[in-house]
Amino acid sequence: MAGKKLMKGNEAIGEAAICAGVRHYFAYPITPQSEVAEYLCWRLPEVGGAFVQAESEVAVGNMLFGAASTGLRTFTSSSSPGISLMQEAISYMAGAHLPVVLVNIIRGGPGLGGILPAQGDYFQAVKGGGHGDYRVGVLAPSSVQEAVDLMILAFDLADKYRNPMMLIGDGMVGQIMESVEFPETNREDNDPIKSDWALTGALNRKPRVVKSLFLNPDLLEENCLLLEEKYKRMKENEIRYELYKVSDKNRLLIAAFGTMARICQTAIDELEREGVSVGLFRPISLFPFPEKEIYAEAGKKNIEKILTIEMSVGQMVEDIERCVKGRKPVEFFGHTGGIVPTPNEVKDKVRESLGLKK
Protein backbone atom coordinates (compact mmCIF):
# COMPACT_ATOMS: atom_id res chain seq x y z
CA MET A 1 0.00 0.00 0.00
CA ALA A 2 2.94 2.31 -0.61
CA GLY A 3 2.39 5.66 -2.32
CA LYS A 4 -0.72 7.71 -2.85
CA LYS A 5 -4.03 5.97 -3.48
CA LEU A 6 -7.41 7.33 -4.43
CA MET A 7 -9.78 5.76 -1.93
CA LYS A 8 -13.22 6.06 -0.44
CA GLY A 9 -13.15 7.09 3.23
CA ASN A 10 -14.77 3.87 4.44
CA GLU A 11 -12.26 1.67 2.60
CA ALA A 12 -9.35 3.78 3.78
CA ILE A 13 -10.56 3.34 7.38
CA GLY A 14 -10.44 -0.43 6.85
CA GLU A 15 -6.92 -0.32 5.41
CA ALA A 16 -5.77 1.98 8.23
CA ALA A 17 -6.90 -0.64 10.75
CA ILE A 18 -4.76 -3.23 8.97
CA CYS A 19 -1.80 -0.81 9.16
CA ALA A 20 -2.48 -0.57 12.90
CA GLY A 21 -2.11 -4.34 13.19
CA VAL A 22 -5.77 -5.33 13.25
CA ARG A 23 -6.52 -8.80 11.94
CA HIS A 24 -10.04 -9.32 13.33
CA TYR A 25 -13.06 -7.18 12.50
CA PHE A 26 -16.72 -7.68 13.41
CA ALA A 27 -19.62 -5.76 11.87
CA TYR A 28 -23.23 -5.61 10.79
CA PRO A 29 -24.26 -3.89 7.53
CA ILE A 30 -25.61 -0.35 7.79
CA THR A 31 -25.59 2.61 5.43
CA PRO A 32 -23.49 4.76 5.03
CA GLN A 33 -20.51 2.66 6.21
CA SER A 34 -21.07 -0.81 4.74
CA GLU A 35 -18.03 -0.39 2.48
CA VAL A 36 -15.76 -0.96 5.49
CA ALA A 37 -17.04 -4.55 5.76
CA GLU A 38 -17.16 -4.99 1.99
CA TYR A 39 -13.49 -4.02 1.88
CA LEU A 40 -12.25 -5.95 4.90
CA CYS A 41 -14.15 -9.17 4.06
CA TRP A 42 -11.57 -9.87 1.31
CA ARG A 43 -8.67 -7.74 2.56
CA LEU A 44 -8.38 -9.34 6.03
CA PRO A 45 -7.99 -12.93 4.72
CA GLU A 46 -5.16 -11.62 2.50
CA VAL A 47 -3.21 -10.70 5.64
CA GLY A 48 -4.19 -13.81 7.60
CA GLY A 49 -7.11 -12.26 9.46
CA ALA A 50 -10.84 -12.82 9.67
CA PHE A 51 -14.10 -10.91 9.37
CA VAL A 52 -17.28 -12.04 11.09
CA GLN A 53 -20.59 -10.62 9.91
CA ALA A 54 -22.58 -10.59 13.13
CA GLU A 55 -26.33 -11.10 13.56
CA SER A 56 -26.80 -7.64 15.10
CA GLU A 57 -24.87 -4.69 16.42
CA VAL A 58 -25.62 -5.95 19.93
CA ALA A 59 -23.64 -9.06 19.02
CA VAL A 60 -20.93 -7.01 17.30
CA GLY A 61 -20.22 -5.04 20.46
CA ASN A 62 -19.96 -8.23 22.46
CA MET A 63 -17.79 -9.99 19.87
CA LEU A 64 -15.44 -7.02 20.26
CA PHE A 65 -15.54 -7.56 24.02
CA GLY A 66 -14.44 -11.18 23.53
CA ALA A 67 -11.87 -10.35 20.86
CA ALA A 68 -10.34 -7.49 22.87
CA SER A 69 -10.00 -9.81 25.87
CA THR A 70 -7.36 -11.74 23.91
CA GLY A 71 -5.17 -8.62 23.97
CA LEU A 72 -5.17 -8.41 20.16
CA ARG A 73 -6.21 -5.23 18.37
CA THR A 74 -9.77 -5.28 17.09
CA PHE A 75 -12.41 -2.84 15.91
CA THR A 76 -15.83 -2.36 14.39
CA SER A 77 -17.54 0.26 12.29
CA SER A 78 -21.18 1.19 12.11
CA SER A 79 -23.54 4.11 11.77
CA SER A 80 -25.76 5.85 14.30
CA PRO A 81 -28.57 3.30 15.00
CA GLY A 82 -25.97 0.53 15.08
CA ILE A 83 -23.81 2.44 17.54
CA SER A 84 -26.86 2.87 19.78
CA LEU A 85 -27.18 -0.92 19.90
CA MET A 86 -23.52 -1.27 20.86
CA GLN A 87 -23.79 0.97 23.92
CA GLU A 88 -24.27 -2.02 26.21
CA ALA A 89 -20.95 -3.55 25.20
CA ILE A 90 -19.17 -0.17 25.16
CA SER A 91 -20.13 0.43 28.79
CA TYR A 92 -18.98 -3.08 29.76
CA MET A 93 -15.70 -2.74 27.84
CA ALA A 94 -14.98 0.63 29.47
CA GLY A 95 -15.71 -0.91 32.87
CA ALA A 96 -13.42 -3.85 32.08
CA HIS A 97 -10.59 -1.58 30.79
CA LEU A 98 -10.53 -3.07 27.31
CA PRO A 99 -8.72 -1.36 24.44
CA VAL A 100 -10.97 -1.31 21.41
CA VAL A 101 -11.78 1.06 18.55
CA LEU A 102 -15.26 1.85 17.21
CA VAL A 103 -16.00 3.91 14.12
CA ASN A 104 -19.29 5.80 13.81
CA ILE A 105 -20.01 7.15 10.34
CA ILE A 106 -22.86 9.30 11.53
CA ARG A 107 -26.17 9.55 9.68
CA GLY A 108 -29.22 11.64 10.48
CA GLY A 109 -31.34 10.70 13.50
CA PRO A 110 -33.12 10.23 15.86
CA GLY A 111 -34.65 6.81 15.31
CA LEU A 112 -34.20 5.34 11.88
CA GLY A 113 -33.67 8.94 10.74
CA GLY A 114 -32.04 9.00 7.32
CA ILE A 115 -28.87 7.86 5.59
CA LEU A 116 -27.28 11.23 4.81
CA PRO A 117 -24.37 12.83 6.71
CA ALA A 118 -24.99 14.34 10.13
CA GLN A 119 -23.22 15.11 13.43
CA GLY A 120 -26.13 14.46 15.76
CA ASP A 121 -24.33 11.69 17.67
CA TYR A 122 -21.95 14.15 19.35
CA PHE A 123 -23.69 13.85 22.71
CA GLN A 124 -23.84 10.05 22.48
CA ALA A 125 -20.12 9.80 21.70
CA VAL A 126 -18.79 12.51 24.00
CA LYS A 127 -21.12 12.38 26.98
CA GLY A 128 -21.35 8.65 27.50
CA GLY A 129 -24.05 6.83 25.56
CA GLY A 130 -24.17 3.77 27.78
CA HIS A 131 -24.78 3.46 31.52
CA GLY A 132 -22.37 4.25 34.30
CA ASP A 133 -19.34 6.41 35.10
CA TYR A 134 -17.22 6.11 32.00
CA ARG A 135 -15.92 7.97 28.97
CA VAL A 136 -14.88 6.99 25.49
CA GLY A 137 -12.02 8.80 23.78
CA VAL A 138 -13.43 10.51 20.67
CA LEU A 139 -11.55 11.64 17.55
CA ALA A 140 -13.17 13.50 14.63
CA PRO A 141 -11.42 13.52 11.24
CA SER A 142 -12.31 16.03 8.53
CA SER A 143 -10.67 14.27 5.56
CA VAL A 144 -9.90 10.77 4.38
CA GLN A 145 -6.19 11.19 5.13
CA GLU A 146 -6.98 12.39 8.62
CA ALA A 147 -9.37 9.46 9.11
CA VAL A 148 -6.45 7.12 8.33
CA ASP A 149 -4.05 8.93 10.65
CA LEU A 150 -6.57 9.15 13.48
CA MET A 151 -7.52 5.48 13.11
CA ILE A 152 -3.93 4.47 13.75
CA LEU A 153 -3.69 6.96 16.62
CA ALA A 154 -6.96 5.59 18.04
CA PHE A 155 -5.47 2.10 18.38
CA ASP A 156 -2.37 3.50 20.07
CA LEU A 157 -4.47 5.52 22.52
CA ALA A 158 -6.82 2.58 23.18
CA ASP A 159 -3.79 0.48 24.15
CA LYS A 160 -2.15 3.31 26.10
CA TYR A 161 -5.21 3.95 28.26
CA ARG A 162 -6.88 0.52 27.96
CA ASN A 163 -10.10 2.29 27.09
CA PRO A 164 -12.52 2.24 24.14
CA MET A 165 -11.80 4.89 21.51
CA MET A 166 -14.32 6.14 18.97
CA LEU A 167 -13.66 7.71 15.61
CA ILE A 168 -16.64 9.77 14.54
CA GLY A 169 -17.02 10.89 10.97
CA ASP A 170 -20.19 12.06 9.32
CA GLY A 171 -21.41 10.14 6.24
CA MET A 172 -19.38 12.53 4.07
CA VAL A 173 -16.05 11.34 5.52
CA GLY A 174 -17.09 7.74 4.86
CA GLN A 175 -18.34 8.25 1.32
CA ILE A 176 -15.93 10.83 -0.13
CA MET A 177 -13.02 9.67 -2.33
CA GLU A 178 -9.71 11.41 -1.77
CA SER A 179 -6.03 10.71 -2.24
CA VAL A 180 -4.54 9.08 0.77
CA GLU A 181 -1.24 7.64 1.96
CA PHE A 182 -0.75 4.84 4.46
CA PRO A 183 2.21 4.62 6.81
CA GLU A 184 4.85 2.10 5.78
CA THR A 185 5.21 0.45 9.14
CA ASN A 186 2.90 -2.32 10.11
CA ARG A 187 2.23 -2.20 13.83
CA GLU A 188 1.93 -5.90 14.50
CA ASP A 189 3.93 -5.42 17.66
CA ASN A 190 1.32 -5.91 20.37
CA ASP A 191 1.95 -9.29 21.89
CA PRO A 192 -0.88 -10.46 24.17
CA ILE A 193 1.41 -13.02 25.77
CA LYS A 194 3.43 -10.16 27.26
CA SER A 195 0.47 -8.22 28.63
CA ASP A 196 -0.43 -8.55 32.31
CA TRP A 197 -4.19 -8.58 31.77
CA ALA A 198 -5.07 -10.35 28.48
CA LEU A 199 -6.65 -13.79 28.67
CA THR A 200 -4.08 -16.23 27.33
CA GLY A 201 -4.79 -19.31 29.46
CA ALA A 202 -3.83 -19.78 33.11
CA LEU A 203 -1.06 -22.27 32.37
CA ASN A 204 1.80 -21.03 34.51
CA ARG A 205 0.13 -18.14 36.26
CA LYS A 206 -2.92 -17.25 38.33
CA PRO A 207 -6.25 -17.11 36.45
CA ARG A 208 -7.23 -13.70 35.07
CA VAL A 209 -10.76 -12.32 34.84
CA VAL A 210 -11.95 -9.59 32.47
CA LYS A 211 -15.04 -8.11 34.09
CA SER A 212 -16.96 -5.00 35.04
CA LEU A 213 -18.84 -6.58 37.98
CA PHE A 214 -17.96 -5.31 41.47
CA LEU A 215 -20.69 -6.17 43.95
CA ASN A 216 -18.72 -4.59 46.78
CA PRO A 217 -19.39 -0.82 46.52
CA ASP A 218 -15.88 0.01 47.74
CA LEU A 219 -14.39 -1.98 44.90
CA LEU A 220 -16.81 -0.54 42.34
CA GLU A 221 -15.98 2.98 43.42
CA GLU A 222 -12.31 2.07 43.23
CA ASN A 223 -12.79 0.91 39.64
CA CYS A 224 -14.70 4.09 38.72
CA LEU A 225 -11.95 6.24 40.24
CA LEU A 226 -9.38 4.25 38.29
CA LEU A 227 -11.33 5.09 35.12
CA GLU A 228 -11.61 8.72 36.17
CA GLU A 229 -7.86 8.88 36.72
CA LYS A 230 -7.35 7.65 33.12
CA TYR A 231 -9.69 10.33 31.78
CA LYS A 232 -7.78 12.93 33.73
CA ARG A 233 -4.54 11.75 32.13
CA MET A 234 -6.23 11.85 28.72
CA LYS A 235 -7.28 15.45 29.40
CA GLU A 236 -3.68 16.31 30.26
CA ASN A 237 -2.02 14.57 27.33
CA GLU A 238 -4.39 13.93 24.46
CA ILE A 239 -5.94 17.29 23.51
CA ARG A 240 -5.92 17.72 19.74
CA TYR A 241 -7.25 20.62 17.71
CA GLU A 242 -6.41 22.74 14.68
CA LEU A 243 -6.53 26.46 14.10
CA TYR A 244 -7.21 27.89 10.64
CA LYS A 245 -6.52 31.54 9.79
CA VAL A 246 -6.64 32.42 13.46
CA SER A 247 -5.07 35.83 14.03
CA ASP A 248 -5.39 38.94 16.18
CA LYS A 249 -7.45 40.49 13.38
CA ASN A 250 -10.26 37.91 13.68
CA ARG A 251 -13.59 39.54 14.51
CA LEU A 252 -15.26 36.18 14.84
CA LEU A 253 -14.15 32.65 15.67
CA ILE A 254 -15.99 29.70 14.15
CA ALA A 255 -15.97 26.43 16.08
CA ALA A 256 -16.70 23.38 13.95
CA PHE A 257 -15.48 19.77 13.61
CA GLY A 258 -15.28 17.13 10.89
CA THR A 259 -16.70 17.85 7.44
CA MET A 260 -18.41 20.98 8.76
CA ALA A 261 -15.02 22.48 9.56
CA ARG A 262 -13.85 22.00 5.95
CA ILE A 263 -16.92 23.76 4.63
CA CYS A 264 -16.25 26.61 7.06
CA GLN A 265 -12.69 26.91 5.72
CA THR A 266 -14.09 27.65 2.26
CA ALA A 267 -16.41 30.28 3.74
CA ILE A 268 -13.52 31.80 5.76
CA ASP A 269 -11.35 32.07 2.61
CA GLU A 270 -14.13 33.82 0.71
CA LEU A 271 -14.90 36.17 3.62
CA GLU A 272 -11.20 37.04 3.82
CA ARG A 273 -11.33 38.22 0.21
CA GLU A 274 -14.24 40.48 1.23
CA GLY A 275 -12.13 41.88 4.06
CA VAL A 276 -13.90 40.05 6.90
CA SER A 277 -11.40 38.31 9.17
CA VAL A 278 -12.69 35.05 10.64
CA GLY A 279 -10.72 32.21 12.26
CA LEU A 280 -11.60 28.56 12.71
CA PHE A 281 -11.17 26.47 15.84
CA ARG A 282 -11.49 22.80 14.93
CA PRO A 283 -11.51 20.33 17.83
CA ILE A 284 -10.02 17.01 16.67
CA SER A 285 -10.28 15.27 20.03
CA LEU A 286 -13.91 15.72 21.11
CA PHE A 287 -13.15 13.84 24.31
CA PRO A 288 -10.94 15.07 25.82
CA PHE A 289 -12.28 18.44 24.65
CA PRO A 290 -9.84 21.35 24.10
CA GLU A 291 -11.39 23.28 26.97
CA LYS A 292 -8.54 25.61 27.94
CA GLU A 293 -7.60 26.21 24.32
CA ILE A 294 -11.05 27.40 23.23
CA TYR A 295 -11.22 29.55 26.38
CA ALA A 296 -7.91 31.18 25.47
CA GLU A 297 -8.90 31.81 21.86
CA ALA A 298 -12.21 33.30 22.92
CA GLY A 299 -10.34 35.80 25.07
CA LYS A 300 -8.56 37.48 22.16
CA LYS A 301 -9.33 41.18 22.06
CA ASN A 302 -10.89 41.59 18.62
CA ILE A 303 -13.09 38.50 18.78
CA GLU A 304 -16.67 39.69 19.10
CA LYS A 305 -18.43 36.34 19.01
CA ILE A 306 -17.93 32.61 18.84
CA LEU A 307 -20.06 30.94 16.18
CA THR A 308 -20.51 27.19 16.48
CA ILE A 309 -21.59 25.47 13.28
CA GLU A 310 -22.70 21.85 13.26
CA MET A 311 -24.60 19.33 11.19
CA SER A 312 -27.10 18.99 14.04
CA VAL A 313 -29.47 21.26 15.94
CA GLY A 314 -26.61 22.15 18.26
CA GLN A 315 -24.71 19.73 20.46
CA MET A 316 -21.03 20.69 20.58
CA VAL A 317 -22.21 24.27 21.11
CA GLU A 318 -23.04 23.30 24.72
CA ASP A 319 -19.37 22.40 25.28
CA ILE A 320 -18.24 25.59 23.58
CA GLU A 321 -20.51 27.63 25.88
CA ARG A 322 -19.23 25.68 28.87
CA CYS A 323 -15.60 26.32 27.98
CA VAL A 324 -15.93 29.96 26.86
CA LYS A 325 -17.45 30.66 30.29
CA GLY A 326 -19.32 33.75 29.13
CA ARG A 327 -16.18 35.54 27.90
CA LYS A 328 -17.89 36.18 24.56
CA PRO A 329 -21.37 35.52 23.20
CA VAL A 330 -21.70 32.05 21.67
CA GLU A 331 -24.03 31.67 18.70
CA PHE A 332 -25.09 28.62 16.77
CA PHE A 333 -25.90 27.78 13.20
CA GLY A 334 -26.59 24.39 11.70
CA HIS A 335 -28.63 22.07 9.59
CA THR A 336 -29.60 18.55 10.45
CA GLY A 337 -31.33 15.51 9.01
CA GLY A 338 -28.70 15.09 6.31
CA ILE A 339 -28.73 18.69 5.09
CA VAL A 340 -25.17 20.01 4.97
CA PRO A 341 -24.73 23.79 5.48
CA THR A 342 -23.18 25.43 2.42
CA PRO A 343 -20.30 27.94 2.41
CA ASN A 344 -22.80 30.65 1.35
CA GLU A 345 -25.03 29.89 4.33
CA VAL A 346 -22.00 30.03 6.63
CA LYS A 347 -20.96 33.39 5.14
CA ASP A 348 -24.48 34.79 5.53
CA LYS A 349 -24.58 33.68 9.16
CA VAL A 350 -21.16 35.27 9.84
CA ARG A 351 -22.26 38.57 8.27
CA GLU A 352 -25.50 38.48 10.27
CA SER A 353 -23.60 37.81 13.51
CA LEU A 354 -21.26 40.73 12.87
CA GLY A 355 -24.08 43.04 11.77
CA LEU A 356 -22.73 43.27 8.22
CA LYS A 357 -24.83 43.58 5.08
CA LYS A 358 -25.61 40.28 3.35
Q: Which residues bind another protein (CB under 8 A)?
A: 23-24, 26, 50, 52, 54-56, 58-70, 72, 74, 88-89, 92, 96, 199-204, 207-213
- If DSSP codes are grouped into helix, strand and coil, which group holds residue 350? helix
CB of 229 vs another protein, minimal distance in Å: 22
CB of 220 vs another protein, minimal distance in Å: 13
Sequence-distant (6+) residues with CB within 8 A of 198 are 69, 70, 71, 192, 208
Are the CB atoms for 119 and 311 separated by under 8 Å? yes
Residue 274 buriedness (CB in 10 A; 0-12 / 13-18 / 19+): exposed
* Nearest alpha carbon to residue 51 among 41, 38, 43: 41
Amino acid at 5: K
Could you give the CA distance from residue 341 to residue 81 in angstroms, rounded to a whole number? Answer: 23
Residue 26 or residue 122: which is nearer to another protein going by CB? 26
CB of 103 vs another protein, minimal distance in Å: 17
CB of 14 vs another protein, minimal distance in Å: 17
Residue 62 or residue 175: which is nearer to another protein going by CB? 62
Could you give the CA distance from residue 52 to residue 300 in angstroms, rounded to a whole number? Answer: 51
Element (H, E) at 279: strand 278-283
CB of 307 vs another protein, minimal distance in Å: 42
**Angle, helices 9-19/34-46, rounded to nearest 10 degrees:** 40
Residue 69 or residue 142: which is nearer to another protein going by CB? 69
Residue 17 or residue 210: which is nearer to another protein going by CB? 210
Residue 14 or residue 283: which is nearer to another protein going by CB? 14
